A and B are shown apart, each in its own frame.
Chain A
């Protein structure tokens, strides 16, 4: 029994999320330490740059395969911004495209075995969500001046309910960055942890002498991997589309 427990523990589901310095002998992680998180974020930036700059270097009228992937991504985000954020939102397209591409790159790269998932860390997702929250709020106040506060005043409600509903509106506005960051971080975190749990189960069964039954966790891992690739795309999409929704609120106030 004890040996089984020992064997089970050699794949720890949360070990993959440890941030470690890449150079030196495992000292402290400071502000400018090059960690595995920094490396994988840089790699995702490099991947996006490779796709959008190197991939489209031909500027061909009939695009090559990689160029058409880049164009597809561009068109996809552009459509989304136009449809969801509404008129006058194209000025903010570069920002939303950058967010989408970075999160998609990081999510997809983290599906590579032995890689690291920066977007599973709230230290990454919270600044992303806060940046959206602060910039969108600033845009609202710049566009509408102090009148942006009218966004929180429910005009259609009965009079005596309004102050209370206004409080609720303000509160729900401030929950936005919380849910925005938790959604991305928790989805990626949970997916990767579950994959590792099944991997651990598989190893336990194989080394514990349940060879044939180990097919079950293996099949589960295959299915989960497929789902996680979908989630990796979908979470980048959801993050971007919610940014568009918030931007729409700031630009048009409903």
Chain B
């Protein structure tokens, strides 16, 4: 009797497991193409805003001190470098995500995994 009950329980457990598996929501389908476009768009804005900020700060500084081309050129270049840095970060994040696909990982700085509906 006891053994019978145990067997029944085991069967029930299996059935519940199977039912759960069937009910489990599938991971969301990702729109690869659009996500790529979004990333590219993000990088372009990052780069452009870096250069823009550099140019603006350089030009402002120059017109304050009166050394017109010097800081404009220097800070625009710095802004370009900063923009590249941000771009590289985004690319690293993306690569990380493609390679690992482990969203809970604490090291992974950046938008991991999910791309919502």
> Would you call A175 and B49 a contact (CB within 8 A)?
yes
Contacts of A174 in B (CB 8 A): 53
Please count how many residues in chain A sit with their CB below 8 Å of the partner chain's CB atoms.
32
> Would you call B86 and A175 a contact (CB within 8 A)?
yes
> Would you call A178 and B52 a contact (CB within 8 A)?
yes
> Would you call B114 and A168 a contact (CB within 8 A)?
no
> Would you call B49 and A248 a contact (CB within 8 A)?
no
* Interface size classification for chain B: 20 to 34
- Known contacts A169-B85, A248-B109; is A238 also within 8 Å of B42 by CB? yes
A193 within 8 A of B: no
Contacts of A167 in B (CB 8 A): 78
Give chain B nearest CB distance to A226 CB in angstroms: 12
Q: How many angstroms from the CA of A178 to the CA of B113 in the assembled complex?
A: 25
> Would you call A178 and B49 a contact (CB within 8 A)?
yes
Contacts of A8 in B (CB 8 A): none
Query: A18-60: which have CB < 8 Å to B?
Result: none
Q: Write out, one digit per residue, whether chain B residues 92-117 have a CB within 8 A of any chain A CB (1) or not (0).
A: 00000000000110100111111010
Consensus secondary structure, chain A interface: helix
> Would you call A171 and B81 a contact (CB within 8 A)?
yes
> Would you call A245 and B50 a contact (CB within 8 A)?
no
Contacts of B50 in A (CB 8 A): 171-172, 175, 179
Residue of A186, A241, A252 most packed against chain B (CB within 10 A):
A241
Contacts of A191 in B (CB 8 A): none
> Would you call B81 and A168 a contact (CB within 8 A)?
yes
Contacts of B106 in A (CB 8 A): 86-87, 252
A80 within 8 A of B: yes
8 A-B pairs with least C-beta separation: A172-B82, A171-B82, A179-B49, A178-B49, A83-B103, A241-B111, A175-B50, A172-B85
Chain B interface (Cβ < 8 Å from any Cβ of A): 34, 38, 42, 45-46, 48-50, 52-54, 78-79, 81-83, 85-86, 103-104, 106, 109-114, 116
What are 24 A-B contacts with C-beta separation under 8 Å?
Answer: A76-B116, A80-B114, A83-B104, A83-B113, A84-B111, A84-B112, A86-B106, A168-B85, A169-B82, A171-B78, A172-B82, A174-B53, A175-B50, A178-B52, A179-B49, A179-B86, A233-B116, A238-B42, A241-B111, A244-B111, A245-B109, A248-B110, A249-B109, A254-B109
